[in-house]
Amino acid sequence: MNAYVFPGQGAQFTGMGLDLYENSELAKELFHRANDILGFEITKIMFEGTKEELTETKVTQPAIFLHSVILSKVLGDQFKPDMVAGHSLGEFSALVANGVLDFEDALRLVSKRALAMQKACELKPSTMAAVLGLEDEVVEQGCVETEGIVVAANYNCPGQLVISGEVEAIEKACEWMKEKGARRALVLSVGGAFHSPLMEPAREELAAAIESTTFHTPNCPIYQNVATTAITDPEEIKKNLIAQLTAPVKWTQSMKNMLADGATSFTEVGPGKVLCGLVKKVDRSIETISASV
């Protein structure tokens, strides 16, 4: 069975999507439509922008979404998923790819999500940190024992977990992790504490937009970050998508469930090859393909 996975924030690079734009009339049309919907020329930033411009949340999220979704559409008959998943933001790309969301509706939601998250980040100093080389349970214990808001946010693969919360709490938690034998506990250069309780204002704002958007029955199951199991009910998909902003990305668990349900290959659709690498850390023998251009 063919599993298709879609990357999240952090996969952006200058020039992303340019080959698609130059070599496909369909891609060109969708990029122009995106510029109109967003109200600014995101194509100019994607193709020529600086690293700093591309890392602005209001740009990064729609840019990665556009690269992934337009690539999946350009693949045409080659794109035949039996199951899909997306890492954080990538869940929106996955939902367009499996027919749950229309391109325009999803892009509007992604743009609203990015702006809402940016606003939430500005309310309180917060950050994230990558912890390598510890069991998940140890990292979770460290979050509980650290004073302040700090939670497990991204279960990326065995031995790699990202924590999220208040700046001071994250720094204390990193020291705790190192004392417990973490190979690394590194504060990341991100805008704020994604997938933590500090994103509650963004969750509330996005919830209203998601509730008023039409979700169709999917062409194939999606393994959502919150649920980790095969989901096909549009109302359940909505609920999980809303919960995702303040809940952890359970990527390791999702990959294991996809493998258990019969996935024989994973194709990463969008910028970069990060997810291919994470899949290999769950099961080294599984076939991974990068459709990035």
CA distances from 80 to 60, 64, 265, 266, 273 (A): 27, 21, 12, 12, 19
Q: Locate tokens 């080959």: which residue?
A: 19
Give, for 268, the enclosing helix (H) or strand (E).
strand 265-268
pTM of the model: 0.95
Q: What is the pLDDT of residues 246-260, one digit of tens each?
A: 999 999 999 999 999
**Per-residue confidence (pLDDT) for residue 191, from 0 to 100:** 81
Q: What is the pLDDT of residues 184-198, one digit of tens each?
A: 999 998 889 999 999
Asked whether 66 and 15 are in contact (CB, 8 A), the reply is no
Q: How far apart are CA 286 and CA 159, in angstroms?
A: 19
Mean pLDDT of 51-79: 92
Q: Is the pLDDT of residue 202 over 90?
A: yes
Q: How far apart are CA 112 and CA 110, in angstroms?
A: 5
**Per-residue confidence (pLDDT) for residue 158, from 0 to 100:** 95
Maximum C-alpha span of the chain: 55
**Per-residue confidence (pLDDT) for residue 77, from 0 to 100:** 85
Of 88, 111, 164, 254, which one is the catalytic site residue? 88
Of 228, 225, 239, nearest to 87 by C-alpha is 225
Mean pLDDT of 220-240: 97
**Per-residue confidence (pLDDT) for residue 10, from 0 to 100:** 84
The stretches of 124-160 forming alpha helices (DSSP H) are: 136-145
Q: What is the pLDDT of residues 126-181, one digit of tens each?
A: 999 999 999 999 999 999 999 999 999 999 999 999 999 999 999 999 999 999 99
**Per-residue confidence (pLDDT) for residue 58, from 0 to 100:** 85
Q: Is the pLDDT of residue 88 over 70?
A: yes
Mean pLDDT of 230-234: 98
Mean pLDDT of all residues belonging to the chain: 95
Question: Within a 13 Å sphere around the CA of 81, how many CA atoms are in the beta-carbon half?
Answer: 29
State yes or no: is 88 an active-site residue. yes
**Per-residue confidence (pLDDT) for residue 23, from 0 to 100:** 94
Q: From the DSSP assignment, how many helices (H) and strands (E) are in the chain?
A: 13, 10
State yes or no: is 189 an active-site residue. no
Does residue 261 sit in helix, strand or coil?
coil
CA distances from 203 to 114, 247, 248 (A): 11, 10, 13
* 19 residue type, one letter: D
Q: Is the pLDDT of residue 292 over 80?
A: no
Of 195, 196, 254, 292, which one is the catalytic site residue? 195
Q: Is the pLDDT of residue 207 over 70?
A: yes
The two three-digit tokens of residue 180, written as one number: 């417990």
Q: Locate tokens 């020291």: which residue?
A: 175
Indicate the pLDDT class of residue 293, thresholds 50, 70 and 90.
Answer: low
Of 62, 174, 65, 178, nearest to 128 by C-alpha is 174
Beta bridge partners of 290: 268
Q: How far apart are CA 278 and CA 284, in angstroms?
A: 10
Asked whether 207 and 243 are in contact (CB, 8 A), the reply is no
